[in-house]
Structure 1
Amino acid sequence: MEHIELTLLGLLLAVVGLTALARLWNVPYPILLVIGGSLLGFVPGLPSVELDPDLVLLVFLPPLLFNAAYFASPRDMKLLWRPITLNAIGLVLLTACAVAWVAHTLVDDLSWAAAFTLGAICAPTDPLAATAIARRLGVPARLVSVIEGESLVNDGSALVIYRVAVAAAVGGSFDLLDAGWEFVANVAGGIAIGALVGFALLPLFRRALADPLISVTLSLAAGYLGYIPAEELGVSGVLGAVTVGLVLCWHAPTITDPLSRLTGYAFWDVLVFLLNALLFVLVGFQLHEVVTHQERSLALLLGLGAAVSAAVIATRLLWGNTTPYIIRALDRRPKQRLLRVGWRERMVIGWSGMRGAVSLAAALALPLDFPERDLLLFLTLTVIFATLVVQGLTLPWLIRTLGIEDDGSPAREELHARRAATEAAISRLEELREEEWTRDSTVRLMRKNYDVRQRRLAQVAGERSFEQDGEDLGEHTDARARLTKELIDAERAIVVALRNEGTISDEVMHRLERELDLQELGIAAYRREPSVAPDGAA
């Protein structure tokens, strides 16, 4: 690659600029990245970027999948296993078939194997933009959990189909029965290897408990440790990485300490953002060559892209508005009736089926000699553009129009947890009152703080009134947090001044600055208490 220094600089500046625009316009950053990335390739003078297909999946997928699994909710996935499984397997297969049929019908000489490869590429969803919009607009937590859980599992099922289809397209043979058995073996093998690796890593994380650098580095390696052995054994590395993430997610509270968690959250936020952003921008750098190498006209390419995108969107909407009625006819248990949602909620889930980083990585990973590789890459980007940009920008309107509102469950759960934690702390404080090493003045001060917090939470729950306490304890909490923030700012200013005048070293300044930063983060977390009406509605 020529001028690699300028290319890297251009990539980073493009990511910064597009993300800043996304923040300014209050839209999820993937939407601006796919628009800007698509346009970048047509800027005159930009160098061409050629990626090694063998490295694309290896570099991008394991950390993205591990991160998604690590921050998933096993509880919600267990509760909502039916819609998640149906969407992640049944809908993926149907989408792959629908896209394959459209592509094979409309594109001359496109083999069924290549068409199914495109279908598998377009099948997995990306929840990043959809969940950001849904949470901002107060969509019920259950719907968000379905969108996230589906995306986590359908990456594995779609990429298993992808592997089978690519092998058939390159090797020239395909047997449906063999493909079916291979699918089952890939899924079972990937999950088994991921579980083994996950449980094997638990003792290592416990030994690294006191060192955040080792802990975070080990978390980065974990996704690859699940992915690479599975791929080498010929099973699903995607499900291997996902399963490792789920195992470590469940045990995370006991294998990490506070400093490791804070360091890890910051590291993974930046890493996942950069990986997603670079994927979109890198495709933009190649888009110009993809279009110019095509013998088809731009109008024909856009028509093919529109047809494939329509197949992806229509299949999801059709599935979401037919399958539930079949399930209801077969399973009429009262327990299942409580889990049902109406057509409005299903429309939101259907319209949230956006495509993103996994589809891009799969398209870029196609062998350079793959039949119609440039066309498949163009169609993938078209589908991502149609689902991410068109559906992403209209999803807020759809949510408001359908009247989808927050059911208050996350706020109620958070309030319940805060009250239980406060009561546990007060109970422990009373137990420690008689210990020799405690001091009465310290115990009284801490008990007073917890009493205020307990009464504040009772006000939030509607169990105490402002008149009973003599004031709105929410305002009391805000005033206390603001005062503490002012004091921390004063401490920070004098520490920086001492460094500037040479009284203390930069090392000492950074050590004190870090302590003050952690205190300030604690204040911000303390102020973020749930707002729940007496009847439990947010």
Structure 2
Amino acid sequence: MHTLLPFILAMIAGIVLLNMLAKKLKIAYPILLVVAGLLVSVIPGIPYIQIDPDLIFFIFLPPLLFEAAWAGSFKEMKKWWRIITSFAFVVVFFTALSVALITNYFIPGFTIAIGFLLGGIVSPPDAVSTGAIMKFVKIPKSTAAILEGESLLNDASSLIIFRFALIAVGTGQFIWQDAAIGFLWMVVGGVGIGLISAWLFIQAHKRLPTDTSSDIAFTLISPYFMYWIAEEAHASGVLAVVAGGLLMSLKRLTFLTSASRIRGYSVWELFVFLLNGIVFLLIGLELPDVAAGLRADGIPMSTAICYGVLVTVILIAARMISSYGAMIFTYLFRRKNLPHATSLKRRMTMPLLLGWTGMRGVVSLAAALAIPLKLDNGEAFPHRNLILFITFVAILLTLLVQGLTLPMIIKRTGLFNSYIDDEGEAETRQKMKIGLKQHIHQFLKSKHETEWQGNESMAKFIQQWEERAKATEADTWMNDRTKGIFLEMLESQREYLVELNKDPKINEEIIREQLYQLDLEEERLRVV
């Protein structure tokens, strides 16, 4: 314990520092974390970290999926649901099938069931890696919505394949009728349990005398609760978390206060960042141990690497084929559902991006580590070390090859510089701001006529908002120069409060509250 705790603290510090370095280098931080994990793992005396496979899913997946659902847009998912569901289910199954058939042919001793097990593990792209990379490039809103929606659902479909393949490997048989019924229950039951659980948590927020801390605590435990209940009912815990997270996200304004939303965002951002960092470091830290297992099984390292490269090529090829197949099908039969673009050529470049965003990560690692050491009959699980090694190689290669080249491809080709769906963003923002000012002006006038008649202060206040409502972008009061003056005023107020706090008679809690208000005001000004 005394050696492990400093190592964990050092790991967290390393995650923070590597994230800073990644921002400076403008590359996705998961790439640096995986490489750092590999380098650290060869240092003599490094403690060996082993997590119970049964806890892998439960520790990492629920909060990561919940946060992704909370941040996602249900409106955009509904708009592009056909493409999203095809990628999340059809493409994942096609990828798993391709991996199963080819590995069964090329890898000695690999049955179709073991191939499907490996396919279920490596088929889902990682949302964290893709999101981290997309921060450095500009892509169409429609493409971003498709990637976000796919990332919420492909984990569920791949883990369903993983679960059924695991049963087939353990029992030696696969009954299609039972699998179909089981699949239906996992989907319907998972979604239903997630929605019911989310409704219960929303009611708890509304009806109980909660404060900011308890609100945030409820949001932290809710994904674990949804996942656990669904898994106990043999439904999909992943779909339960996604469905529940989307419902709570839609209703967030009805059961969370503004303080809970502001502080909860910071808590969740830190929590998810640390979880992702730990997982990607574990990828690098675990690889040498898996390689040692291969040597114990008598599998040459060069052979295992070739198998890993083969599976990685299958993953990339299957996603590229699926991307162009889906776009061609949509163009031929459902042309109105295509994302708007300036030309057919630009429409057909979108699959290139979708096909090259197949970095693997957290879910693949969790699934691979969750493979049991032994079968129910006590025998060692067949090819477990090789499956783990191939998974690690696929994660490493997709992160390094696709992760490092994707931003360069987008920037140098300029494929997505002039999509129509991005052109109206500035106009929409301006229209929203003008509409808000006019709405506030009408609200104040209505209140003055009915409740505030004769109130001179309110009359002056209404006059100020009337001037704002009539102002155009060119002569608006909040231009860059005015904003700079306001920011200087806020900083001057902070300095005054710091000096005021030196008085021993002043309650520091009041000072901190006012400083927090200044922080909120500054954040508001920066997005005006």
2:17 and 2:279 map into 1 onto residues whose CA distance is 16
- Residue 496 of structure 1 and its aligned partner are, at CA, apart by 2.2
SS at match of 2:222: helix
Moved more, 105-114 or 381-390: 105-114
Question: Under a length normalisation based on structure 1, what TM-score does the superposition of the two structures give?
Answer: 0.88
1:85 counterpart letter in structure 2: T
| Alignment CA distance shift 1:209-1:485 (3 Å) | farther
- Residue 503 of structure 1 and its aligned partner are, at CA, apart by 4.5
Contact 2:441 2:469 in 1 (8 A): no
Question: Under a length normalisation based on structure 2, what TM-score does the superposition of the two structures give?
Answer: 0.90
1:152 and 1:514 map into 2 onto residues whose CA distance is 34
1:372 aligns with 2:383: yes
SS at match of 2:251: helix
2:514 alignment counterpart: 512
2:294 and 2:454 map into 1 onto residues whose CA distance is 77
Contact 1:429 1:447 in 2 (8 A): no
1:195 alignment counterpart: 195
- Residue 453 of structure 1 and its aligned partner are, at CA, apart by 6.4
1:319 alignment counterpart: 322
- Runs of 5+ consecutive residues of structure 1 not aligned to the other structure: 460-465, 527-538
| Alignment CA distance shift 1:183-1:17 (3 Å) | same
1:422 aligns with 2:423: no
| Alignment CA distance shift 1:173-1:484 (3 Å) | same
2:377 alignment counterpart: none
1:438 and 1:421 map into 2 onto residues whose CA distance is 26
2:105 alignment counterpart: 105
1:388 counterpart letter in structure 2: L
1:335 alignment counterpart: 336
Contact 1:2 1:47 in 2 (8 A): no
SS at match of 1:294: helix
1:305 alignment counterpart: 308
- Residue 236 of structure 1 and its aligned partner are, at CA, apart by 0.5
1:34 counterpart letter in structure 2: V
- Residue 103 of structure 1 and its aligned partner are, at CA, apart by 2.7
1:159 and 1:392 map into 2 onto residues whose CA distance is 23
1:385 aligns with 2:396: yes
1:109 and 1:493 map into 2 onto residues whose CA distance is 71
1:410 and 1:129 map into 2 onto residues whose CA distance is 26
- Residue 439 of structure 1 and its aligned partner are, at CA, apart by 4.1
Percent sequence identity over aligned pairs: 33
1:403 and 1:196 map into 2 onto residues whose CA distance is 43
Across the two proteins, how many residue pairs are aligned to each other?
510
Contact 1:141 1:409 in 2 (8 A): no
1:494 and 1:367 map into 2 onto residues whose CA distance is 61
- Residue 445 of structure 1 and its aligned partner are, at CA, apart by 4.1
Post-superposition CA distance 1:68-113 (Å, at most 9, x none): 1111111111111110011110000011111222333333223332
1:83 alignment counterpart: 83
Contact 1:130 1:352 in 2 (8 A): yes
Counterparts of 1:229-240 in structure 2 under 5 Å?
A: 229-240=229-240
Contact 2:438 2:469 in 1 (8 A): no
- Measured on the aligned residues, the alpha-carbon RMSD in Å equals 2.4
- Residue 38 of structure 1 and its aligned partner are, at CA, apart by 2.9
1:478 counterpart letter in structure 2: D
- Residue 270 of structure 1 and its aligned partner are, at CA, apart by 0.7
- Residue 158 of structure 1 and its aligned partner are, at CA, apart by 0.8
1:455 alignment counterpart: 471
1:348 aligns with 2:363: no
Contact 1:354 1:384 in 2 (8 A): yes
2:218 and 2:370 map into 1 onto residues whose CA distance is 26
Post-superposition CA distance 1:107-129 (Å, at most 9, x none): 32233322211111111122333
1:288 and 1:2 map into 2 onto residues whose CA distance is 24
- Runs of 5+ consecutive residues of structure 2 not aligned to the other structure: 375-380
Contact 1:209 1:260 in 2 (8 A): no
2:400 and 2:177 map into 1 onto residues whose CA distance is 38
1:337 and 1:26 map into 2 onto residues whose CA distance is 31
1:111 and 1:447 map into 2 onto residues whose CA distance is 77
Counterparts of 1:111-260 in structure 2 under 5 Å?
A: 111-134=111-134, 136-207=136-207, 211-260=211-260
Moved more, 55-64 or 38-47: 38-47
2:291 and 2:314 map into 1 onto residues whose CA distance is 22
Contact 1:98 1:315 in 2 (8 A): yes
1:61 alignment counterpart: 61
1:436 counterpart letter in structure 2: W
Counterparts of 1:3-14 in structure 2 under 5 Å?
A: 3-14=3-14
- Residue 197 of structure 1 and its aligned partner are, at CA, apart by 1.5
| Alignment CA distance shift 1:415-1:372 (3 Å) | farther
1:93 and 1:71 map into 2 onto residues whose CA distance is 26
- Residue 136 of structure 1 and its aligned partner are, at CA, apart by 4.1
| Alignment CA distance shift 1:402-1:320 (3 Å) | farther
Counterparts of 1:498-537 in structure 2 under 5 Å?
A: 498-500=500-502, 502-526=504-528
Contact 1:210 1:257 in 2 (8 A): no
2:252 and 2:454 map into 1 onto residues whose CA distance is 31
1:49 alignment counterpart: 49
